[in-house]
Structure 1
Amino acid sequence: MRIDLAFAERYAEQWAADWNSHDLERILAHCTEDVVFASPRIRVLTGEEVNEVRGREALRAYWAQGLERLPDLHFTVEDVRVSVDTLVINYRNERGQAVSEVLTFRDGLVCRGLGAYGPEI
């Protein structure tokens, strides 16, 4: 799937709305069954020595923990970047922290994601 800026901007708007709804099914609907997601927050949240989760069900369990622990979670998109089959959403979380979400697509769905964090404010 080739990504263009118009698609990326529409996707980022929907992505933020889905996260801000706290509706896990809406969030997961964008992912393939075999999605892989990597983030330094995984080990912080789960207490396990892992940096990625594999598969939609594992991602469901991880994100469910995050939504439960962060009832005020809220994302504000600042800008979006594109590559061939990948987009980057630069946003601020509920604490004002700068975060980038790097999402690679296959057949219209996210097959790989990466969360990258800036300093806490």
Structure 2
Amino acid sequence: MIEKDFAEEFARDWIESWNSHDLDRILSHYSDQFEMSSPKIIQIAGEPSGTLKGKESVENYWAKALDLLPDLRFELIALMIGVNSLTLTYKGARGQMAAEVFHFGPDHKVSKAYAHYSVE
């Protein structure tokens, strides 16, 4: 079970990391075998499955996304705790609502994440 203190610290640092645009700091939350699924991967990375595997692949995608959105800022709306997982809802690029589900490994690093976005 995810502890409340860990969840709150993760959420705070994750939002701050993205808002700082510090890619190394962002990536510090994730395992090397991290897997990410997002409809934005299809748009930005051109990967038709919407899924990237491995920290290096995700790093390249996020670097490109940060270049495309130099004013990107996230605003945390809610934090939800699950069993070995968290969900953050937040305002993202251009105020679009997003929910991201994070699954954690035994090392407390994110092993899988699934991003969802409001319909525009």
TM-score by length of 1: 0.94
Instruction: Show the counterpart of 2:100.
Output: 101
Deviation at residue 46 of structure 1 after TM alignment: 1.9
Structure 2 unaligned segments of length 5 or more: list them: none
Secondary structure, in 3 states, of the residue corresponding to 1:49?
coil
Instruction: Please list, as runs of the form range in 1=range in 2, the aligned pairs for 1:27-42 lying within 5 A after superposition.
Output: 27-42=26-41
Secondary structure, in 3 states, of the residue corresponding to 1:95?
helix
| Letter in structure 1 aligned against 2:57 | A
Q: CA–CA distance in 2 between the matches of 1:44 and 1:52?
A: 12
Deviation at residue 70 of structure 1 after TM alignment: 0.5
Tell me the number of residue pairs that the alignment of Structure 1 and Structure 2 aligns. 119
- The 8 Å contact of residues 37 and 52 in structure 1, kept in 2 or not, is answered as yes
Instruction: Show the counterpart of 1:117.
Output: 117
Deviations 1:78-106 (A, max 9, x none): 01001110000000013111100100001
Q: CA–CA distance in 1 between the matches of 2:45 and 2:33?
A: 20
Deviations 1:30-81 (A, max 9, x none): 1101000000110111233231000000010010110010001100000100
The percentage of counterpart residues that share the same residue type is: 38
Q: CA–CA distance in 1 between the matches of 2:74 and 2:63?
A: 16
Q: Which runs of 4+ in 1 moved over 3 A?
A: none
Secondary structure, in 3 states, of the residue corresponding to 2:57?
helix
| Letter in structure 2 aligned against 1:116 | H
- The 8 Å contact of residues 5 and 81 in structure 1, kept in 2 or not, is answered as no
Instruction: Show the counterpart of 2:51.
Output: 52
Q: CA–CA distance in 2 between the matches of 1:88 and 1:28?
A: 18
Deviation at residue 111 of structure 1 after TM alignment: 0.3
RMSD, matched Cα: 1.0
TM-score by length of 2: 0.94
